[in-house]
């Protein structure tokens, strides 16, 4: 049986990393203020590691899609804002993914 490989086993320089994250965080009732950002904070070391290794990082997450429709209370804007604060870099956001807008945004990313 082979050894389990981790992120540290790959050369990320100039490559793109697609990372599935669980940013399904709670909000204060009736607001868009995040009440517990632990899920976001836990992803930061992985994102920083990949960026430090020269990768461009694409994150995939969701807050749900009731009955297949968008819900204004489930937008990712506050999460993107918090992640940007934690990483101290601008974080982009594509509303419609998967699809051509997401592909274009991922292709336009700078390394690191």
CATH at residue 49: 3.40.50.1260
The pLDDT, as a whole number, for residue 14 is 92
The pLDDT, as a whole number, for residue 31 is 84
The pLDDT of 16-42, averaged and rounded, is: 91
Q: Does residue 17 contact residue 57 with C-beta atoms inside 8 Å?
A: yes
Owning domain of residue 66: 10-107
Name the E strands within the chain. 16-20, 56-60
The pLDDT of 69-83, averaged and rounded, is: 79
Confirm whether 1 is domain-assigned: no
Residue 110 clears pLDDT 80, i.e. is over it: no
Confirm whether 64 is domain-assigned: yes
Confirm whether 22 is domain-assigned: yes
Tell me what percent of the residues of the chain surpass a pLDDT of 90.
44
């Amino acid at each position: 049986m082979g050894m389990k490989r981790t992120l540290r086993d790959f050369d990320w320089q100039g490559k793109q990393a697609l990372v599935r994250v669980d940013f399904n965080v709670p909000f204060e009732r009736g607001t868009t203020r995040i009440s517990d950002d632990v899920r976001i904070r836990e992803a930061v070391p992985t994102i920083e590691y990949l960026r430090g290794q020269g990768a461009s990082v694409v994150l995939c997450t969701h807050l749900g899609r009731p009955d297949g429709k968008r819900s204004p209370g489930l937008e990712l804007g506050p999460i993107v804002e918090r992640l940007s604060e934690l990483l101290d870099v601008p974080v982009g956001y594509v509303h419609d993914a998967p699809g051509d807008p997401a592909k274009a945004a991922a292709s336009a990313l700078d390394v690191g």
